[in-house]
Amino acid sequence: MSLTLEGVIAKVNEIFATYDSSSSVVSLVGEDWKAGKVYEAWIMTLLLDRLENIEGFAATLVGGTKVHLKSSPGPINGSYPHFKLVRRGGPQLDVWTDVEFATLSYSISGKSGKPGQAHRHELDIVVVHDGVSGYPGHQDIVLGVECKNTGFQKQMARAALGVRRELSLLSSNQPTPFTSWPAGVVPADPPSVLLVYSTDSNVDGYNEAGSIFGVKFLYEPMP
């Protein structure tokens, strides 16, 4: 039997608390959050678990002045909590929620300063190189995640492919910072990984096309 929304919030906050070395009370997900945002937080717990247990990263919660995780689109904001990933002999990475990145088309345009609306796209979860701030460039994104707590429709797949195009160019396989999960190589340059999660099992049907461009469509229900 699936949990109530309140039950999922409690479960997610309990998981996040295990990453807090200060042993303080952690409520990164607000009690008034809607199901879509709670689903993003749930996927983040799975992401952290797999990066630890499959890839060997150690994840640590880094607090900010805000109580909850960032839940509205914009640049990286150090006032919000985030997670740091460290692996011996490997890169140090930061995990943030609801971040807009500066697109490949923005980079090609040669413009500088804050990217305009057409040159920013939001990702529900981003993994970036350690220390990246503001609007990360397309080359700063190591892993991007989109979360859909709804029936998965074709336009969502099209949107994901559009995001892929603004993250990188199609290329021969390039190595990622990961050994196997979520992908050791991707047909993209820069070699970012793009995952699309949905509570609708129909999402799996888009993998045949997505694999050509380095997009993984994944079915993951709410707990």
pLDDT of residue 1: 61
Reference 147, options 158, 156, 136, 134; nearest CA is 156
d(C-alpha 35, C-alpha 6), whole Å: 10
Number of structural domains (the chain) is 1
Instruction: Identify the helix (H) or strand (E) that includes residue 169.
Output: strand 169-175
Judged by DSSP in three states, 109 sits in helix
Q: What is the pLDDT along the chain (223 residues), one digit of tens a residue?
A: 689 999 999 999 999 999 987 756 678 999 999 999 999 999 999 999 999 999 999 999 998 888 899 999 999 999 999 999 999 877 899 999 999 999 999 999 998 889 999 999 999 999 999 999 999 999 999 999 999 999 999 999 999 999 999 999 999 999 999 999 999 999 999 999 999 999 999 999 999 999 999 999 999 999 9
pLDDT of residue 112: 85
What CA–CA distances, in Å, run from 147 to 83, 135, 175? Answer: 18, 20, 24
Parent domain of 187: 5-219
d(C-alpha 72, C-alpha 100), whole Å: 10
d(C-alpha 155, C-alpha 120), whole Å: 19
**pTM of this prediction?**
0.95
d(C-alpha 169, C-alpha 147), whole Å: 23
**Number of H-type helices and E-type strands within the chain:** 5, 9
Reference 176, options 140, 129, 141, 142; nearest CA is 142
pLDDT of residue 169: 96
> What are phi and psi for residue 98, nearest 5 degrees?
50, 60
pLDDT of residue 25: 60
Give the pair of three-digit tokens for residue 131. Answer: 């220390």
d(C-alpha 176, C-alpha 193), whole Å: 8
d(C-alpha 85, C-alpha 90), whole Å: 10
- Chain CA centroid to CA 10, Å: 21
Count Cβ atoms below 10 Å from residue 66 Cβ, excluding itself: 14
Residues in the chain: 223
